[in-house]
Amino acid sequence: MTIAAVLAGGSGTRMGTSVPKQFLEIENIPVIIRSINAFLHNENVDACIVSVAADYVDYTGKLIEKHIDTHKDIFVIKGGATRGDTLFGVLEFMKEKGMSEDSIVLTHDAVRPFINDRIIDENIDAAKKYGACNTCIPAVDTILVSEDGSFISNVPDRSTLFHAQTPQSFNAEKLYELIRKMPPDDFRNLTDGCSVFSYYGEKVFLVKGETYNIKITYPDDIITAGNIIRQYYN
Q: Name residues whose C-beta falls within 8 Å of residue 3's C-beta, 6 or more positions apart in sequence.
A: 45, 46, 47, 48, 49, 94, 103, 104, 105, 106, 172
Mean pLDDT of the chain, nearest integer: 94
Q: Which of 69, 59, 72 minimizes the C-alpha distance to 30?
A: 59
- What is the pLDDT at residue 13? 52
**Residue 194 confidence (pLDDT):** 97
pLDDT digits (tens, 9 = 90+) for 151-184: 999 999 999 999 999 999 999 999 999 999 999 9
Q: pTM for the complete prediction?
A: 0.93
Average pLDDT over residues 64-90: 94
